[in-house]
Structure 1
Amino acid sequence: MLELYTSFPAFLLVFVRVSSFFATLPLFSYRTIPAQHKIGFAFFLSWIMFFTIDAPVLTIDGFYLMLVIKEALVGLAIGLVAYMIISAIQVAGAFIDFQMGFAIANVVDPQTGAQSPLVGQYLYTFALLLLLAVNGHHLLLDGVFYSYQFIPIEQMWLPLGNENVIEFVMKVFNHMFVIAFQMSIPVVGSLFLVDLALGIVAKTVPQLNVFVVGLPLKILVSFIVLILVMAAMMMLVGQLFESMIYIMRGLMGLLGGT
């Protein structure tokens, strides 16, 4: 009974990190998963992890409350940077929708409750299925497990104001938009050529109403190009998952001071 009493504070810290990690992590943080299941899964995963890490003996005091806040920030930061990377798929879909003319026809994503572009939601669904098919969710869980090698429980402060951390976050933003541009450039480039052709037709054949012909033509071309480049897009999504794991590890190393 005494051993349980002395180990409970350390277990609570593990539970705080894992539960806050699930609050922002892709696939595990969606509203379609009941809150009771999230809490239960976080509890049992924390219970397993607690016996595999070298947890110190802690007492509940002011220092311990600071550790609780630090653990919550660690979990939120790691899950948020993973969500930032995978959101590049929806950004690419937004680029494509804007050129197709679907920008006004957003749909409500039942997983997050936010509005998302049509093509972005379509690509995002396929990306989540690919993530499950390649066991990427196992790698995400490995991320929170191995975070204790970089950021131990007894570490008091997080260097959030460090210039290296800020520069790393800026590079993550840049990487996200680069991947989104790479995914959308086949469709966006094709639609640019279609717009160019329609402009030439409007000048040479003034009797033709390009506004009536242009929208269905751009939609048709977009779907044809999407079918042709879908395999290449999924290859980019696979590289996106690989980048997400490396970026999570890099952020954990910076937060741990290594």
Structure 2
Amino acid sequence: MLELSDAQIGGWVGSFVLPLFRIAALLMTMPIIGTQLVPTRVRLYLALAISVVLVPTLPPMPQVDAINLGNVLLIGEQILIGALLGFVLQLFFHAFVVAGQIISMQMGLGFASMVDPTNGVSVPVLGQFYLMLVTLLFLAMNGHLVVFEILAESFVTLPVGGGLLTNHHWEVAGKLGWVMGAGLLLSLPAITALLVVNLAFGVMTRAAPQLNIFSIGFPLTLALGLVIVWIGMADVLSQYQVLASDALQLMRELARAR
């Protein structure tokens, strides 16, 4: 009969289960994989597969007691670290969604909304377009591989059982409010061009008061807004590279212990 000691069980728990919680928390909260499009069971299987591949390359894990309630603190710490890393990526993706929403409201396309299948909420069509665009760019440039690399490095720079998150991590987390500024910067060229269009309509109304600007201005603003968005697509790649590098650098700073 196979007999397992408490030390053996504790070693297995420390070497496999604790890293699994950090990996699973990241996969449950990050974009693309952590959305409703991917079933929870698939995400769990993927977390198990990554853990099996990653655990043999990790530093030695702490020896824990398998039935000690104090391990709940270690598990909560791993979940918090993984969730913070995934939350940074969520903010990066939603910066483009915010930009699409701002442009939609400015050009009169805010009424055209659809259900976002990834989050289950109603968003403007233009915001959903930007979300799909940044998703394709992220996958095409192997951003998901960089995320997994940062996750593997976090077990070295922020080891399991190395202590709770320090003030450094909360200072880095305080920088996560850049999403609104990033969304505004992404939409600023289109907002400026649409402002010029609206000023032109105002001059037309002043010059010809009998002109029904409401029946003419709305379709023209909508059409010109689509043209402006199409022209602005030429600069999306450079904007994406800057924001992606900032988001990934922020993830590295969160995974760094000081």
TM value normalised by structure 1: 0.91
Inter-partner Cα distance in structure 1 for 2:73 and 2:171: 26
Inter-partner Cα distance in structure 1 for 2:173 and 2:17: 29
2:43 is matched with 38
1:123 is matched with 130
Deviations 1:51-88 (A, max 9, x none): 11122322221321110111111111111122112210
2:221 is matched with 218
1:53 to 58, 71, 92: 58
Deviations 1:186-233 (A, max 9, x none): 211111011111111111111111111111111111111112120201
Q: Check the 8 A contact 1:127/1:234 in 2, yes or no.
A: no
Deviations 1:111-148 (A, max 9, x none): 11122221111011011111111111111111211111
Deviations 1:141-186 (A, max 9, x none): 1121111122111123223xx3x54443343313x22321221112
2:153 to 146, 151, 159: 146
Is 1:189 the counterpart of 2:195? The answer is no
2:79 is matched with 72
Inter-partner Cα distance in structure 1 for 2:115 and 2:206: 40
Inter-partner Cα distance in structure 1 for 2:17 and 2:92: 29
Is 1:171 the counterpart of 2:178? The answer is no
2:95 is matched with 88
Count of matched residue pairs: 251
Inter-partner Cα distance in structure 1 for 2:202 and 2:147: 48
**Can you give the 5+ residue segments of structure 2 that lack an aligned partner in the other structure?**
none
**Can you give the 5+ residue segments of structure 1 that lack an aligned partner in the other structure?**
none
1:241 is matched with 244
1:15 is matched with 20
Inter-partner Cα distance in structure 2 for 1:116 and 1:4: 51
Q: 1:168 to 1:57 in 2, by over 3 A?
A: closer
Aligned AA (1:97): S
Inter-partner Cα distance in structure 2 for 1:233 and 1:171: 23
Q: 1:218 to 1:238 in 2, by over 3 A?
A: same
1:208 to 203, 211, 225: 211
Q: Check the 8 A contact 2:150/2:255 in 1, yes or no.
A: no
SS at match of 1:51: helix
